Amino acid sequence: MGLIKDLFSKKHSIKVSIEAKNGLHLRPCAKIATLAKKFDSDISFISSNKTIDAKNMNEILALGLEYGSEITIITKGKGAKDALFAIKSLLNELSNHDISVNDDKIISIYDKIQYESETINTDVICGGICVAKTYYQSDTQSDTQNDINYVNNKIEFHDAINKVTSELEMLLADEENSEKDIFLAQKAILNTLNNSSFEMFENSISNAIKMLENTANQSKIVDYKDIKKRVFNKMNGVLRKEFPLNDFILVSNELFPSDIKRLAKSGVKGVIINNISSRSHIALLLRSYNIPSVSVKDIARFKNIDNQIILDANNKVIAISPSSKDIDTAMSSVKKSNEKSEKDNNDKFKIVATKSGKRIKILANIADYESAIEAKEAGCDGIGLLRTEFLFQVNKPTLEEQTSEYAKIFKLFDEVTVRTLDVGGDKKLPYLIIPNEENPFLGVRGIRLFKTHLDLIKEQLLAILLAKSSGEVKIMFPMVSTVDEFIYAKSVAVDIANEHNIDLSGISFGIMVEVPSVLFLISEFNKVVDFYSIGTNDLLQYLFAVDRTHTSLEIDTRSGVLFDAIKLIQEQSIKPVSICGELASDIEAIKALIDINIEILSVTPAMVSNIKSRIRDV
């Protein structure tokens, strides 16, 4: 009977064109599937000879419907006609209200400057504006460049390896280093290279670079080159001169992670670098030191410039031969920016709210006690992300060492969110053995360590629980993809607390939202988690299946898809939602985030006062 009924059920169909500017991305697909489920009738979409169930959000997404795509809507069964009308009406509504986040919500907060002289367009790495003469550095591998000295104390290859290892360990221990994971990765790379001889060492690096060329991990090549340069310099008695102390704008073909701290201590006002990804290690380091920086396609045109130039990263341009009026305009902007920074610093401890009175909580991302002090002095309301992996950098910490370090941080704040050990991918530990994987970003990392290194995680959880004092401690698990993963991880923590008679009052448990599967499981996670924290960096790369540091496959960090994902989480969650990824520190994205009701942002300590200032203007 069912087959006969199906054969004779009247079908209703209509062909429509997708008029939504951004196509049917995440949030519209969720709305369509939710509406379709309200009807008893069968509802299908046909596009490009594919037929899918309109009640299945994943299947709608998989169609990849863009602006102008044509689909046929077919409904059949009870209420089929009403269902067809409802779906068509929703598509019309989505078309009328689909506003591109990039075009309409992300509006530049910087003053638009029109220069009299010719300008060169650039890609921005770090915002800011500066005026100075250039310091040209064409080839950081050259033996004859003007910032290298040669001395006579040459050493053997193996001694050079030991010295470089010690240098990297010093960088890891450097309290001012906000991007320690870069050097942690370099140390892990060094440990994997064949160091039986310098020839084998060079071959090992060359082979690794060849394997990385034109792949998603191409941006990591610079780290291999940096390691080779470090070892070569030690063997040959090469000493690098310091950069000039007077004001200058560095023009460089290639920079290495080992250059940046030395650069930051110089008179540098800005950096122009040849064709790098805005997500590369170098870009991350330049932003961590807040050095105005841009990327250009060809730096040769800057080689013989003797006059002052204007690097205006806020407006994405460089003026090579600025007029006196251009320079006055740029210097006026610099003065205005400095005055605003001083005011922001004076107001950093004040409660922050929008013009309409909406209170926004500003937390900080930290790595250790020293950065916790920096965050406290910056005026944050608490810690939204404690990256615990930095305690595990060189040697495995004891339970007592972990407990002591956590306790010092917990005493500084009323609220601290602790992320359990998040290694894997390109973040490795010398004593943590994870077999080589073809796709390490999709392999053993984050919460998956509960399966491979449970004893290590158990000891960390015990240290966190023992360190808690009077404030609130929020334990957050990274790389969660299913509800069962979270339930198991929390049960491990609860069992540890029971075993050691630890009171769980003031302890809560949540997840990092960075794996796309979580977007479809929010209603189920709502039943078990206490909070969500969106890691926009990883979420973005997994949404687009592109390494965020890839040099040629750029991802729009302000993509409407990312904002749709955040909005979807915010709308479906019944628990607090915060953002701890780089988007939270993006001055120009703040209004868009507030507009979708994000009320908790966790940012780098250096950005606390700037973000607070921006919120007061919204």
Q: Which domains does the chain have, with CATH numbers?
A: 2-98 (3.30.1340.10), 119-139+241-333 (3.50.30.10), 148-240 (no CATH), 361-616 (3.20.20.60)
Mean pLDDT of 409-431: 81
**Closest among 273, 278, 272, 250 to 262, alpha carbons compared:** 250
Is the pLDDT score of 245 beyond 60? yes
Residue length of the chain: 618
Tens digits of residue pLDDT in 458-487: 999 999 999 998 889 999 999 999 999 999
Is the pLDDT score of 556 beyond 90? no
81-95, 213-227, 236-250, 442-456: which has the minimum mean pLDDT? 213-227
250-254, 330-334, 518-522, 546-550: which has the minimum mean pLDDT? 546-550
Q: Residue 106 is encoded by which pair of tokens? A: 């992300």
Q: Where are the beta strands (DSSP E) in 258-308?
A: 268-274, 293-296
Q: Residue 262 is encoded by which pair of tokens? A: 């030395």
Per-residue CA distances from 56 to 47, 52, 239, 545 (Å): 15, 8, 62, 21
Distance between CA 172 and CA 179 in Å, rounded?
9
Tens digits of residue pLDDT in 117-158: 989 999 888 888 999 999 988 654 433 344 445 445 778 888
Distance between CA 515 and CA 539 in Å, rounded?
6
Asked whether the beta carbons of 17 and 70 are under 8 A apart, the reply is yes
- Which residues in 68-107 are b (16+ Cβ under 10 Å) and which e? ebebebbbbbeebeebbebbeebbeebbeebeebeeebbe
